[in-house]
Chain A
Amino acid sequence: MAAPVSSVGKPSAERPPFNSTSFQKKTRSKLISIPGTRPSVQNGQLLVSTGVTSLDYLLGGGLAVGTVLLIEEDRFDSYSRMILKYFLAEGVVCRHELFVASAQDNPDDILQELPAPILDDVAIHKPVEQPRLSCEPQDNLDAMKIAWRYQNLPKVQSALASSSRFGHYYDVSKTMEPEIRQAAKCHRFYLPEHPTQSSTTHSRMIESYSALLKSLQEVIHREGFDLSTPMSMSRNILRVGLHSLGSALWNDDLSCHDDPMHSHALTTFLYGLRALLRSSLSVAVVTVPSYLIQDRALMGNITRLCDNAIALESFKGSERETNPLYKDYHGLLHVRQVPHLNCLASQLPDHKDLAFKLKRKQFSIERLHLPPDLSETVSRVSRGELAGAAAVVSACGSGTSGNKHLDF
């Protein structure tokens, strides 16, 4: 929960005086509730919505305040940019403040492309399949006599959605009205507008990252998101969107060379970002073009320095675009890391094979599910054609290897 303001409620004995991070156990005293947030049911963390309800469900209900979500970009940066825009649009709708940093496009351009929210309650898309079917009495199904062990397993649920309406839905065919957008306060950081300081860097970070970190800290201090400064008025959340860190436009050669000179610039920056976020009421989404970074160990370091991490792999341009198995989806989504904050266990996703689809009114993330092949002429797709075979759950079992001529 957010740190309680000292004038509100009675000070509880167990609250330490020098605790100034955004992770607090839920205490009994009354806390100011911030619009657009809700406490997590697992550990009392304050959560915000990412703008994509399926992604909220995957991350355990939402994005915890004070954490970083790392999105490994897909090849053409189309869907990762879309998720970034959803995140910022959600901030506008919830009246949070925004901080957008980019080296490639002007942040104003990114802000002008935000999708329009569907604010009419009636038109909100109902989740199609509630993941509660297993509790219903199975009176219309015969009790299984042979495969009785499977009786209690839930039916296959594809759509991931939670039943509460914490996030909003957006229509990507329309852009957000300028009146709605201008109501939200946005801070911008556009790298070409910042003159390169010739001062010596104080650490392994390069100038662009140092300038970004400094600018972010100034915004946090000035606008009062810092937890250590007591504020009398209501508090708000700062949503930070950092686009394409690690690309060459940030003067970083991580994506250009196999053995980069500034190999620790991005990781040092992420460490500083984590330090800033843990001590303020803000949440960050960072996109990184991981397909350009050859060093897997470096990518592992970057992932570990962020809290949540997902990777997008779109089918555009690859031979999987025409594969009939993937015709319903636009790409695969891999959950690389889910954090455990203030508790020992993390909320691991149930299934690891997920695919996403960008529909007009929803960005849906579903479990990749292949129905059993019941056609008369059994046509088995060989393993070689399904790249990423480990991701595909075949109903016929995954033990068969190699020989595709073996038909039963």
Chain B
Amino acid sequence: MFTELNSILNATPDSFTQGEFILVSDRQSDASFLIHHFLSFYLRARCKVCFLGLVQSFSHYSAISQRLGVSLTQAREKGQLIFLEGLKESLSILIPQETTTGSQAMDFLRDPTVGLQRLYEFVRSSVSSGGGGEEGMEEWGPPVLLVDDVSVLLSLGVSAGAVLDFSHYCRATVCSQLQGNIVMLVRCHGEEAEDDGSDEGSEWLLKGLTHQCSLTLHVQGLPTGYCRDIHGQVEVCWRRRRGDGQHTQKKLFQYKVHDKGASFFAPGTSSAVL
């Protein structure tokens, strides 16, 4: 959890807006540090978290979260965190074996044209399970879905339309029905003006998801070039949907990632410069 980012977003683990769809995107940069922030933030806020870790192993997230002060293994044991380890589940599908174990969530690898229904069913069962019942179970807060990251689904052959359908279904279930939050990471590359023309461009996916979301954090490199002390810039854009009409508010920050967190500052006020 990065305290400066909390103050930028006006959110604390005790009070944060519910029903939000937060989109983290990057262009020729790496925005996964924000996913670690949101993971530790929502775990601290005692929410029930469903994490689709499609690109890294569980111990990677666990090691980083430990530096941020949250233990993923404990959360998993207590039932607060449901973790889908995409890499491990995918091996049994990519290399066909006689016995198929594990959940069928990564079934789209078999035939990506089918779509992400199984993945959605996995999400739905994890966020809505454990409502009442057992006495020993603790009550968790609203459910949160974190996806790291969505663009790898495009690399594996799923069409952008299927990914948009999946995010729409998740939003209907998690945000509208259960008043939870969703955080998704989308990675783009290249210049914005590139016209793909085809249906499966990541630009198209980014535009579609930006339209669906309520808060975007867009991470980019510095427009003036590579710098070792300032790792890039973050553009935070609020798209308020409720209340009076829709007005967007944008803020720009520069950031630097350290070992135990990230610091955000107004452009030009980096400690390396001042």
Contacts and interface: CB of A to CB of B under 8 A. Distances in A.
B201 interface: yes
A25 B95 contact: no
Contacts of B87: 271, 274-275, 278-279
**Residue of B59, B91, B109, B202 with most partner-chain A CB within 10 A:** B59
A278 B62 CA distance: 14
Contacts of A344: 33, 36, 64, 67, 257-262
Contacts of A43: 63
Contacts of B93: 202-203
B89 to A, nearest CB: 9
A204 B157 contact: yes
Interface string A114-135: 0000000000000000000000
B90 A272 contact: yes
B190 interface: yes
A295 B80 CA distance: 42
Interface string A273-303: 0111011000000000000000011001100
Interface in B60-100: 60, 62-64, 66-67, 73, 87-88, 90-91, 93-96
Contact of A278 (B57, B154, B257, B260): B57
A297 B201 contact: yes
Nearest to A301: B155
B112 to A, nearest CB: 6
Contacts of A279: 57, 87-88, 91
Given A203-B93, A204-B112, A272-B94, A343 B190 contact: no
Interface centre among A24, A217, A300 (most CB of B within 10 A): A300
B145 to A, nearest CB: 21
Contact of B58 (A21, A25, A210, A352): A21
A345 B257 contact: yes
A271 B111 CA distance: 15
A341 B32 CA distance: 11
A41 to B, nearest CB: 12
13 contacts: A16-B73, A19-B62, A21-B58, A25-B63, A25-B66, A202-B110, A203-B109, A204-B112, A278-B57, A297-B189, A301-B151, A301-B154, A344-B261
Nearest to B111: A203
Contacts of A275: 87-88, 90-91, 94
Contacts of B91: 217, 272, 275-276, 279
Contacts of B56: 278
A340 interface: yes
Most buried by A among B73, B87, B90, B110: B87
Contacts of A305: 152, 155
A213 B91 CA distance: 10
A343 B196 contact: no
A112 interface: no
A23 interface: yes
B171 interface: no
Interface string B133-153: 000000000000000000110
B228 interface: yes
A369 interface: no
A276 B152 CA distance: 17
Nearest to B66: A25
B59 A19 contact: yes
- Tell me the dominant secondary structure on chain A's binding face: loop
Chain A interface bracket (under 10, 10 to 19, 20 to 34, 35 or more):
35 or more
A330 interface: no
Interface residues of B, number: 50
B70 to A, nearest CB: 13
A205 B94 contact: yes
B30 A340 contact: yes
Interface string B96-132: 1000000000000111100000000000000000000
A203 B60 CA distance: 27
B9 interface: no
Contact of A21 (B36, B57, B226, B262): B57
B266 interface: no
Interface of A: 14, 16, 19, 21, 23-25, 43, 202-205, 210, 213-214, 217, 264, 267-268, 271-272, 274-276, 278-279, 296-297, 300-301, 304-305, 340-346, 348, 350, 352
A23 to B, nearest CB: 5
B59 A342 contact: yes
Contacts of B194: 297
B156 interface: yes
A304 B27 CA distance: 12
Contacts of B32: 340
B63 A264 contact: no
Interface in B229-274: 231, 257-262
Interface string B20-45: 00000000001011001000000000
Give the interface centre of B63, B94, B112, B258 by most chain A CB atoms within 10 Å.
B94
B187 interface: yes
Nearest to A215: B95
A343 B95 contact: no
B97 to A, nearest CB: 10
Q: Give the 4 A-B residue pairs with the shortest CB-CB distance, closest first.
A: A300-B189, A275-B87, A264-B157, A342-B63
B156 A268 contact: yes
Contacts of B155: 264, 267-268, 271, 301, 304-305
A300 B154 CA distance: 12
A272 B92 CA distance: 10
A35 B50 CA distance: 40
Nearest to A296: B190
A24 B109 CA distance: 28
Contacts of A274: 55, 87
B60 A341 contact: yes
B94 A23 contact: no
A271 B95 CA distance: 12
Contacts of B67: 343-344
Contacts of B257: 344-345
B54 to A, nearest CB: 9
A202 B96 contact: yes
Contacts of B30: 340, 346
Nearest to A279: B88
